[in-house]
């Protein structure tokens, strides 16, 4: 079943590229395009078998078209010799390449070559792995004549998918798993065909969910589905209700575990607008709940943390903590010093606010003695005693997660940077990390405390790049930041990164010199100007944003002025003459 599902998805991936190869069996799972790919309804070319007396280049183009259709791998094999068709494993990987008119050319010795710039590879689990910018690949298709007709004798290493077919054929869907503390869901993106029926799409999503997280998240998350849990045959859909019939492997789950497993399934299927019934061995998974489980019963696990406090904006100006007021349009936008906070007594180099927006942490330096100081943002009527711990070397701005953990990365200017996390009880834990000699410039933790977003400077050449990482546990009970994925963005002079409800915001310069903010999927795919940024008349330096859907971006330009994006995607300037100001959202 796994090979059939992967083949189906990979095939559709290839369909998405015009000239591409797609796996014949198995599930395709993409590890990072979160919610940016438009849904074009699955419009595409129907795979057709080879015509008689077809030319060599036309044969290869037809083969690439056929292999891009997950429903037509048997048709694609008609373009191959019997030996090549038997050896072809389209589920092994998909190479996504830049589609160009001259990508397929005729060579000597009965060969047709596919040569193109590689965009990414989708591995056997469906994870999107961006290629290094400018990376090219070639694949020679060896052709032979069988009964007077040209056929492909080479065995492609999986599927080739042209970029012009990616979005029309595939849509990004998230699988949902829990944080180790089991209080928040963590999205794990996968690619699925857009031309599936609702029942087919539901079946593939649930089957992929039950397989567990992709390698990107690894053991940083947990699934409540016991080993061996499967859906019985398929997930039928009737009148918008999907019935997920689990086998008896899930029967031993306790009530609390059953509710969490239901949350994973309901959140996963909610993306395709399905309501859900779940049974185990024929009986309801949650016998005390309605038969059709309301999505509202599981909103407390929202991975974006649906808190209004996340939309409150703070800032640093001349080393003093501030709150930005007037973003609701009720008054002029202005910075108000937080004089009631003991943090205001310090000169801060950087500033972070927790997700409840009631306390924060600053990095301060006095006569060479650097410290992290944390306390209430408003000490009125609160018995406040700020707390602190020392740091060394260059300290990147700290970051909070939803558990009130404070993540601090210091010694950033040294060969072995140090990452520590302070929990809400004040305990400091070391987090193992190896940046391989590169220098961290920014660390942004997602609310789940599992996913990390980093801005790095390369030791070779000094260029900056964006990568993601995952917090995982070790066998000894420790923590490690690893599973790094370089987003390989075609941007220069990247100065900041931030989480966004729609992916990742990046401040960088394109090859055309555009310095507007960019929006990309969390795997580096789908780069585009931030909607509304085409009218931006300023160069972006710093970004403020977070994963809450009601948080709109704030930009600090290279002159230190703030620009706030409204809901209609227009930009409002902060008419404040108090000098450069650095914006900070909770997180």
Among residues 247, 281, 301, the one where a domain terminates is 301
pTM score: 0.86
Mean of pLDDT values over 434-439: 96
First to last CA, the chain: 41
Cα–Cα dist 507/451, whole Å: 20
Mean of pLDDT values over 197-206: 94
Predicted confidence (pLDDT) at residue 41 exceeds the cutoff of 80 = no
Q: How far is CA 286 from CA 182, 255, 291, 295, in A?
A: 18, 8, 8, 14
Q: Where are the beta strands (DSSP E) in 93-184?
A: 94-97, 104-106, 111-122, 128-130, 136-146, 149-152, 159-162, 170-178
Q: Are 247 and 230 in contact (CB under 8 A)?
A: yes
Cα–Cα dist 542/276, whole Å: 42
Residue 567: strand, helix, or coil: coil
Structure tokens at 44: 């595409």
pLDDT at 70: 72
Cα–Cα dist 206/271, whole Å: 12
pLDDT at 279: 98
Mean of pLDDT values over 470-494: 94
In sequence order, the 6+-apart residues with CB closer than 8 A to the CB of 363 are 348, 349, 350, 351, 370, 371, 372, 391, 395, 397, 398
Give the distance between the most distant pair of CA atoms in the chain.
91
Task: Give the strand pairing for 275-280 and 241-246.
Answer: parallel
Q: Is 181 left (phi over 0), alpha (psi -120 to 50) or beta?
A: alpha
Structure tokens at 136: 């090219």
To the nearest 10°, report the CA torsion of 557, 37, 240, 6.
-140
Mean of pLDDT values over 436-458: 97
Q: Are 377 and 321 in contact (CB under 8 A)?
A: yes
**Using one digit for the tens of pLDDT, what is the confidence trace for 252-266?**
999 999 999 999 999
Between residues 1 and 48, which one has the greater pLDDT?
Answer: 48
User: 79 pLDDT band (50/70/90 cuts)?
Assistant: very high
* 540 in the same domain as 394: yes
Chain mean pLDDT for the chain: 88
Cα–Cα dist 154/144, whole Å: 10
Predicted confidence (pLDDT) at residue 316 exceeds the cutoff of 90 = yes
* 502 in the same domain as 423: yes
Mean of pLDDT values over 563-573: 88
* 329 in the same domain as 277: no
pLDDT at 42: 38
User: 34 pLDDT band (50/70/90 cuts)?
Assistant: very low
pLDDT at 353: 97
pLDDT at 381: 65
Predicted confidence (pLDDT) at residue 24 exceeds the cutoff of 70 = no
Q: CB count, 10 Å around CB of 568?
A: 6
User: 18 pLDDT band (50/70/90 cuts)?
Assistant: very low
* 250 in the same domain as 210: yes
The continuous run of DSSP H or E covering 410 comes out as strand 406-410
Structure tokens at 12: 């559709």
**Using one digit for the tens of pLDDT, what is the confidence trace for 288-310?**
999 999 999 999 999 988 788 99
Mean of pLDDT values over 528-555: 90
Between residues 328 and 373, which one has the greater pLDDT?
Answer: 373
Predicted confidence (pLDDT) at residue 23 exceeds the cutoff of 80 = no
* 209 in the same domain as 159: no
In sequence order, the 6+-apart residues with CB closer than 8 A to the CB of 58 are none
Mean of pLDDT values over 126-131: 85
Cα–Cα dist 544/497, whole Å: 9
Predicted confidence (pLDDT) at residue 16 exceeds the cutoff of 60 = no
**DSSP code of 222?**
B
Residues in the chain: 587
* 461 in the same domain as 567: yes
**Using one digit for the tens of pLDDT, what is the confidence trace for 348-407?**
999 999 999 999 999 998 777 899 999 999 877 666 677 899 999 999 999 999 999 999
* 562 in the same domain as 490: yes
Mean of pLDDT values over 218-240: 95
The continuous run of DSSP H or E covering 399 comes out as strand 399-400
Q: How far is CA 275 from CA 262, 272, 292, 404, in A?
A: 12, 9, 7, 33
Q: How far is CA 535 from CA 508, 532, 561, in A?
A: 16, 6, 17
Q: Which of 251, 317, 302 is nearest to 278 (CA)?
A: 251
Q: What angle do CA 332, 555, 530 make, to 5 degrees?
A: 120
What is the extent of the structural domain holding 195? 170-301
User: 513 pLDDT band (50/70/90 cuts)?
Assistant: confident
In sequence order, the 6+-apart residues with CB closer than 8 A to the CB of 118 are 95, 96, 97, 98, 131, 135, 136, 137
Q: Are 444 and 398 in contact (CB under 8 A)?
A: no
The continuous run of DSSP H or E covering 443 comes out as strand 439-445
* 258 in the same domain as 197: yes
pLDDT at 382: 67
Among residues 239, 271, 301, the one where a domain terminates is 301
pLDDT at 305: 85
Among residues 135, 169, 203, the one where a domain terminates is 169
* 355 in the same domain as 419: yes
User: 45 pLDDT band (50/70/90 cuts)?
Assistant: low
Could you tell me the CATH number of the domain that includes residue 433?
A: 2.120.10.30
Predicted confidence (pLDDT) at residue 167 exceeds the cutoff of 90 = no
* 366 in the same domain as 473: yes
* 236 in the same domain as 160: no
* 174 in the same domain as 127: no
Q: Which residues of 106-115 are buried (b: 16+ CB within 10 A; e: fewer)?
A: eeeeebbebb
Cα–Cα dist 356/118, whole Å: 43
The number of distinct structural domains making up the chain is 3
Between residues 513 and 248, which one has the greater pLDDT?
Answer: 248
């Amino acid at each position: 079943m796994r090979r059939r599902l992967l083949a189906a998805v990979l095939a559709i991936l290839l369909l998405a590229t015009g000239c591409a190869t797609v796996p014949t069996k198995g599930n395709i799972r993409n590890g990072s395009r979160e919610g940016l790919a438009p849904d074009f309804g699955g419009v595409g070319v129907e795979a057709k078998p080879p015509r008689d007396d077809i030319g060599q280049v036309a044969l290869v183009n037809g083969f690439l078209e056929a292999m891009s259709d997950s429903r037509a791998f048997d048709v694609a094999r008609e373009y191959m010799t019997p030996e090549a068709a038997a050896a072809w494993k389209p589920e092994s990987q998909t190479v996504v390449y830049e589609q160009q008119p001259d990508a397929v050319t005729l060579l000597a010795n009965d060969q047709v070559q596919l040569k193109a710039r590689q965009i990414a590879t989708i591995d056997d689990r469906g994870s999107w792995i961006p290629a290094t910018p400018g990376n090219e690949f070639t694949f020679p298709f060896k052709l032979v004549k069988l009964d007077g007709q040209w056929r492909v004798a080479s065995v492609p290493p999986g599927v080739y998918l042209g970029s012009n077919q990616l979005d029309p054929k595939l849509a990004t869907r998230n699988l949902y798993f829990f944080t180790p503390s089991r209080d928040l869901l963590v999205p794990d993106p996968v690619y699925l065909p857009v031309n599936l029926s609702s029942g087919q799409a539901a079946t593939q999503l649930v089957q992929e969910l039950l397989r567990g997280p992709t390698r990107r998240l690894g053991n940083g998350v947990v699934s409540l589905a016991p080993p061996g849990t499967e859906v019985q045959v398929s997930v039928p859909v009737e009148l918008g209700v999907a019935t997920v019939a689990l086998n008896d492997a899930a029967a031993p789950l306790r009530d609390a575990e059953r509710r969490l497993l239901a949350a994973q399934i309901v959140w996963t299927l909610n993306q395709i607008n399905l309501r859900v019934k779940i049974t185990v061995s024929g009986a309801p998974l949650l016998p005390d709940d309605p038969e059709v489980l309301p999505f509202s019963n599981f909103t407390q696990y929202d991975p974006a943390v649906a808190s209004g406090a996340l939309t409150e904006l703070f800032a640093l100006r001349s080393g003093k903590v501030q709150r930005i007021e007037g973003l609701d349009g009720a008054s002029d936008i202005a910075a108000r010093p937080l004089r009631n906070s003991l943090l205001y007594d310090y000169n801060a180099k950087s500033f972070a606010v927790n997700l409840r927006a009631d306390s924060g942490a600053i990095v301060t330096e006095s006569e060479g003695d650097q410290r992290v100081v944390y306390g209430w943002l408003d000490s009125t009527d609160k018995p406040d005693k700020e707390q602190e711990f020392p740091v060394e070397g260059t300290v990147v701005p700290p970051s909070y997660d939803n558990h009130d953990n404070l993540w601090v990365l210091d010694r950033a200017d040294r060969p072995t940077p140090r990452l520590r996390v302070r929990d809400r009880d004040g305990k400091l834990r070391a987090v193992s990390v190896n940046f391989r000699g590169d220098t961290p410039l920014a660390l942004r933790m997602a609310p789940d405390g599992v996913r990390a977003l980093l801005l790095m400077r390369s030791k070779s050449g000094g260029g900056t790049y964006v990568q993601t990482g995952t917090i995982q546990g070790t066998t000894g009970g420790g923590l490690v930041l690893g599973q790094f994925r370089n987003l390989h963005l075609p941007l220069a002079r990247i100065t900041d990164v931030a989480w966004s409800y729609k992916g990742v915001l990046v401040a960088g310069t394109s090859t055309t010199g555009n310095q507007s903010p960019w929006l990309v999927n969390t795997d580096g795919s789908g780069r585009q100007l931030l909607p509304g940024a085409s009218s931006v008349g300023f160069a972006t330096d710093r970004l403020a944003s977070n994963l809450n859907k009601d948080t709109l971006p704030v930009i600090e330009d290279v002159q230190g002025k703030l620009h706030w994006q409204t809901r209609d995607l227009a930009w409002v300037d902060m008419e404040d003459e108090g000098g450069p100001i650095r914006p900070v959202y909770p997180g």
